[in-house]
Amino acid sequence: MITDESGTITEAAFGEMDLGCVEDVQKIVGGCLRVAGVRRVVVDMAQVSFCDCVALGPCWRRVRRPSSAGSFGLTDVKAPIVMRLLTLTGTDAVFGLDPSARDVGVFG
């Protein structure tokens, strides 16, 4: 976990994000937003090789329910299969990701 002076926590995900890790994803996202002074949580997806809709759920719910706790985003999606999931589900636009640029998307 990396925190910067702007109140952003960047949490790196790695490996496969699927049903087996959905509870961990929920805990990490919720836990980061409860840290004092945090205004934004960004999940670095550079080392994620696979992601399914179930694991994407906690991220999607966080974006759909903005609160005073802070905002949420994804960055650095490198795996084509992960970008394909985000594109097919329309969540690439929700997260503000450009499929060609793989830029940061933060909402909430």
pLDDT of residue 47: 93
C-alpha to C-alpha distance for 81 and 63, rounded to whole angstroms: 21
Confidence check: pLDDT of 72 > 80: no
Asked if the structure places residue 88 within a domain, the reply is: yes
**Residue 41 sits in which domain range?**
2-101
The CATH number of whichever domain residue 19 belongs to comes to 3.30.750.24
What residues are paired with 78 via a beta bridge? Answer: none
pLDDT of residue 11: 87
- CA 106 vs. chain centroid, Å, equals 9
Asked if the structure places residue 108 within a domain, the reply is: no
- Please give the tally of structural domains in the chain: 1
Question: 47 versus 70: which is more confidently predicted?
Answer: 47
Confidence check: pLDDT of 103 > 60: no
Asked if the structure places residue 106 within a domain, the reply is: no
Judged by DSSP in three states, 92 sits in: helix
Confidence check: pLDDT of 104 > 50: no
DSSP the chain: -EE-TTSEEEEEEEEEESGGGHHHHHHHHHHHHTSTT--EEEEEEEEEEEE-HHHHHHHHHHHHS-BTTBEEEEE----HHHHHHHHHHTHHHHTT--TTT---EEE-
pLDDT in tens, 10-40: 888 899 999 898 888 888 877 887 787 787 8
Q: How far apart are the first and last CA of the chain?
A: 20
pTM for the full model? 0.75
**In this structure, are residues 49 and 16 in contact, taking their beta carbons and an 8 Å threshold?**
yes
